[in-house]
Structure 1
Amino acid sequence: MRSATLVAIAWAAATNAALAQDFSGDIGDATLSLTLEDDGLYLVELQYDSGSNSDEQYLSIGVGQDGTTSCGMGDSSMVVGRLCTSETCADGEPVQMYEPTMTGVEANTNSAGTLANTSITRDGTVLTLSFVADMIGDVSLDDVQCVIWAAGDLTSSSDNDYLAYHGAKKSANNEVVFADLGSPASANATQEPTAAPTTEPTAAPSSTETAGVLTGLDGGLTIEYELASDTEVQITMSYAMSSGWIAIALSSDGSMIGSRAVFGGTGVSGLPAEVGEYEITAYEAPSLYDGETSIQDTSVSVEDGVMQVTFTTDAIAGESLDADGAGKRIIFAVYEGSSWGPSHGANFGDSVDLVSWSSAGTVSGSDAKDLTAMYLAHGIMMILAFGFLFPLGTLPSALRHKLAPEPRWFHFHRAAQTLALLMALAAFAIAIYFVDEFSGEHFTNTHERLGLAVIIVTCLQPFFALFLRKGKSRSLWRISHYLFALFIFVGGIVNSYLGIDDIEGYLADSEQTALEALTYIGTAVTAFVVAIIFVMFAKRGYKSHDNHQHKKHASSTTSSGASTFDDINENPKSSGAEVLSPEANSSSDEHFPADSSKDASIRQVALT
């Protein structure tokens, strides 16, 4: 048996004298009978109508010392009786003591108490568990404060000693029944429980109805929450799938990084625990929280194609739920599959507002579909800008001596770079928006900081071209133009890969693969363009050096020199001649064509 929600009854009054009386009464759908025998042992009988004629069932009872408002299976020692064959009981006894674990239960063979006269029987659909004991686990029955029970089916799996999740066959939450065992009665008389003679006892916080529901993923995910005590909350998450995991996390800003989460699931290879606590520190498959855990009464079941994960806690991975306070902002995610990893695709969302655990009603979570669409738009636009448009827009400049005369190459260069800049700025604006919407903290990681630097340098390119390329600043502009371009190429591509790593898990696998493929192609295009630029630089730089003596014969109006390929403007219509403009050499260069008003001043200088 994995867990049960809270059901508590007073086993006895505060003193041993009260235990001289017997008790018989209903606790939820089950009936409990206690008889104190002469040797100080208790005869315990629990009956439950399971509605099944199967001989592969179990019935269990747990006891604890935590008090009637916080008794849970995770804190209780228990006795489990199994109607079973040799396959489902293996070598164990049909009736045994058990202790809870993080993922279920394990047999307790170290109890110092007596467990005798054990039996588990079925009469039609009614199961009866009977035993005589003075202790269950390490809890003396004289000191018992609360009782819980559950029933379920046996499985062929040895996990949890063949005990399957009990589903709805369990104690109703916080159904508290008080028995006044101190009332006058004969020693062996069986009586119905009566109320205390003076005042009604204070019951646990009422949560027989769900206090609240958070819905997400277009209503496909429901997260029900209710107070289990003054400090604890019982949470039940449901989603239509048979294999995968469901997660809920406390997050102050809606971000996954830095959140404290509970993951629960089944059928997932490598899942660290059926239900476990995690501290999310990176976009990768998390490891179990290594601090003191708080979750209890954990269970995972799949019925009629719906997975349900349940647990009770007052904290997640060290962070308090603040059950009696204003509440918490929570995020959620669902992964449908069979492999443990960080990916959950678009199946995640955010409560946006604080969830008050004690408030009834339905809260609609903000789903991730819009965020996923923005991730895709941002990534695609940035890769198109920095992997395609920027490098391809540079080719006309690099190949201008092989293309048609100015200003055609320049117009293409300017148009492509302008379009790339506008696309990059639009993608940057999308990033600013979704960080504001879902996180609130900007430039907190390498991808965001490098992206900001690349955008700033990209915007400086046209600014420098307009204000620094003429006059004395022309040499500075030429150097900065090439260096900035190189930084934009390399920085843009590197940042694309960083971004893909950051959003891994937020996109569907197919979307992630497509984005990675587009980045690989953009990388190849950029590498190809950079290679062409270096080859053309080498070739034309060598030619300009080889023709150095020819340029000495040029007119003194070209005294600013064309010592590199940047100042050579070949005229394809002239055989062995170069068309130069005084303005082109003194205040401009071939990256920007001469103004048409100056065309009349063009003169031809023969280079022989």
Structure 2
Amino acid sequence: MEPYSSLLSLLLTLSASITAVHSQVDTCGSDLSTFLPSPFNASGLDCKPIWNGFILRYSQNQDNILSIVLSAVYTSGWVGIGFSNDGMMIGSSAMVGWIGDGRAYIEQYHLLGQTSSDVIVNEGQLLATDVAPAVVLFGANIYLAFQLNFSASVPRQALLFAFSTRSPNSYQLTQHDDKTSISFDFSAGNSAYSSYPYQLKRKHGMLAIFGWGVLLPLGAIVARYCRQIDPLWYYLHVVIQFVGFIIGLAGVVAGIALYDRLHSNITMHRALGISILVLGALQVIAFFIRPEKDCKLRKYWNWCHHWVGRLALFLAAVNIALGIQIGGANYSWKVVYGIILAVILITISVLEIMLWTSWTRKTASPSAF
């Protein structure tokens, strides 16, 4: 019987361990009264799973005081919730909590820009109440609990959620590992959220960079510096430019869809995008009305084709850089496009020097008899 007793004891121990681990995972049914201070330990808080293990508990009373308890799986770093007017980071205010040096921290930050120096601690537009905010680490989760005082009832609010596994340094936040933005309805009994279109924004940027910023310059390079492999250069040029235009057009369509969802005030970026699309369309039309080589209009066609194309490429480079800036892209986007632009410019410089050197040699060489 001893082997069976040992096996039974092992199974009971394993079951108890699994139960203990499961009890540490936060759910909307978890009891907060054992570890959160009043009034955040009340059972009457509405609860909504949000994103990536984040759970939002909330209540709003007749005095327009909003009680928030945000929980998330936690190992290190910081966890934050922001309140925004338009779903964007810049200009919003956030409550951020973390555990460091054996202490719990929760601070308000004013998010004035994308860099750490523009995220200002102890500033923001959120009005706290007399109830002190709290941060509690319980089991595998961190809990941020605080109250905000609003001038009127908050029916729907754009909320930002973010986290980082790197702890703040002297209250200066490190860059987040991931983030999302939702529109949340705080109305009683009607909680709903819709995601901010981060994926659509990424697709818009990636399509624009690859179409307008990579393929079209590559096609132009082939046309100018590969004439010696006639007629292969011409077919390569046409194919690359058509594919680049189609991908760039897809980026424009994604940009229109993004604007329809955000209605952001990005007049310059939109105007440049439309101009580039028009110039690109003119290049496509020019392909179908290309005069024969012996036609008198051919030299004017060549002149228009070359300079319209150069203008389109220049505006595309400017607009891509502008889009990366106003879109709040992280540092990796700037590095990647910076490398792409540098490679293109260096390649053109080297090929241009080689081309002019070749022309100089041909001009200087004596004519054959």
By the TM > 0.5 criterion, same fold? yes
CA distance in 2, matches of 1:516, 1:314: 39
1:486 aligned onto 2:310: yes
1:440 aligned onto 2:275: no
Indicate the residue corresponding to 1:287 in structure 2: 120
**Could you tell me which of 174, 188, 203 is aligned with 1:377?**
203
* Structure 1 residues 391 and 284: CA distance shift in structure 2, 3 A: same
* Structure 1 residues 225 and 466: CA distance shift in structure 2, 3 A: same
* Structure 1 residues 450 and 281: CA distance shift in structure 2, 3 A: farther
CA distance in 2, matches of 1:329, 1:466: 52
Greater mean deviation of Cα atoms: 418-427 or 480-489 = 480-489
SS state at 1:209 partner: coil
Indicate the residue corresponding to 2:245 in structure 1: 421
Structure 2, gaps ≥5 residues long: 1-32
SS state at 1:287 partner: strand
Structure 1, gaps ≥5 residues long: 1-165, 175-206, 551-575, 577-607
**Could you tell me which of 143, 153, 156 is aligned with 1:328?**
156
Offset at 1:222?
A: 1.7
Greater mean deviation of Cα atoms: 239-248 or 524-533 = 524-533
**Could you tell me which of 234, 256, 261 is aligned with 2:89?**
256
SS state at 1:300 partner: strand
Alignment of 1:370-519 (within 5 A): 371-403=197-229, 405-406=230-231, 408-437=232-261, 439-441=262-264, 443-444=266-267, 447-467=269-289, 474-504=298-328, 513=332, 515-516=333-334, 518-519=336-337
Indicate the residue corresponding to 1:360 in structure 2: 189
Indicate the residue corresponding to 1:203 in structure 2: none
Identity of aligned residues (%): 17
Offset at 1:431?
A: 2.4
- Name the amino acid aligned to 1:306: N
1:234 aligned onto 2:67: yes
SS state at 1:245 partner: strand
Note if contact 1:391-1:525 (Cα within 8 Å) is conserved in structure 2.
no
Note if contact 2:40-2:67 (Cα within 8 Å) is conserved in structure 1.
no
Normalising by the residue count of structure 1, what TM-score does the alignment of the two structures yield? Answer: 0.46
Tell me the matched-pair count: 323
The superposition leaves residues 485-531 of structure 1 with CA deviations (integer Å, 9 ceiling, x where unpaired) of: 333334433444444444556x6xxxx63x45542442244214422
Offset at 1:449?
A: 4.7
Indicate the residue corresponding to 1:309 in structure 2: 144
Normalising by the residue count of structure 2, what TM-score does the alignment of the two structures yield? Answer: 0.71
Note if contact 1:391-1:489 (Cα within 8 Å) is conserved in structure 2.
yes
CA distance in 2, matches of 1:421, 1:434: 20
CA distance in 1, matches of 2:38, 2:142: 20
CA distance in 1, matches of 2:210, 2:89: 28
- Name the amino acid aligned to 1:256: M
SS state at 1:266 partner: strand
CA distance in 2, matches of 1:374, 1:541: 47
CA distance in 2, matches of 1:530, 1:462: 23
Indicate the residue corresponding to 2:8 in structure 1: none
Offset at 1:443?
A: 2.7
* Structure 1 residues 172 and 261: CA distance shift in structure 2, 3 A: closer
Offset at 1:287?
A: 1.9
1:223 aligned onto 2:56: yes
* Structure 1 residues 384 and 208: CA distance shift in structure 2, 3 A: closer
CA distance in 2, matches of 1:294, 1:382: 41
What RMSD over aligned residues (CA atoms) do the two structures have, in Å?
A: 3.8
CA distance in 2, matches of 1:422, 1:274: 49
Larger Rg computed on CA atoms: 1
SS state at 1:274 partner: strand
CA distance in 2, matches of 1:449, 1:345: 33
* Structure 1 residues 544 and 346: CA distance shift in structure 2, 3 A: same
